[in-house]
Amino acid sequence: MTSSDPTALPDPWHSLHELLAGMDAEIERVYIERGIEGMRPRFAYPLIRLAHTGPLTIRELAKSLDRSHSAISQTVAAMRKLDLVTSEPGPDARTRRIDLTERGRSLVPFLEAEWRATHETVAELDSEIPTR
């Protein structure tokens, strides 16, 4: 064990975490303004992916998004509660196939536009950061 607690030191990532949390809050505000109650920024990636691929198992969706099975399973459960996706038995009794509902599908054009706008904003911010 070391003599000092490294978590007691100033967190060099704090500013980045605050920036990301602020961006997520702003995106959520946009969703609320559009009347999309309960929508979370973390739902956009899987909803857009499912719109382009069609139904996927949780494992396939997680792999395609480079996320953990557990994280996607939790996200899918939350999206099911909002009637954004369905979950049906897959080809193997141990799997579930996830697909968009009509509600989920109807949100994709808006989510894609927001995705692009967010990426443009991040690229603009990135271009303003001096490189070494």
pLDDT digits (tens, 9 = 90+) for 73-120: 999 999 999 999 999 988 888 888 999 999 999 999 999 999 999 889
Q: What percent of the chain has pLDDT over 70?
A: 98
pLDDT for position 63: 98
For residue 105, give every residue at least 6 positions away whose Cβ sits within 8 Å of its Cβ, in sequence order, or none. 51
Average pLDDT, the chain: 91
Q: Where are the domains of the chain?
A: 41-132
CA distance 94 to 120: 40
- The phi and psi torsions of 86 (rounded to 5 degrees) equal -115, 160
- Asked if residue 45 has pLDDT above 70, the reply is yes
Strand order in the sheet with 96-100: 56-57, 96-100, 85-89
The terminus-to-terminus CA distance of the chain in angstroms comes to 35
> Torsion angle of alpha carbons 59, 96, 40, 53, nearest 10°?
70
Report whether CATH 2.60.40.790 matches the domain 41-132.
no
Segment 45-66 shows an average pLDDT of 97
3-state secondary structure the chain: CCCCCHHHCCCCCHHHHHHHHHHHHHHHHHHHHCCCCCCCHHHHHHHHHHHHHCCEEHHHHHHHHCCCHHHHHHHHHHHHHCCCEEEEECCCCCCEEEEECHHHHHHHHHHHHHHHHHHHHHHHHHHHCCCC
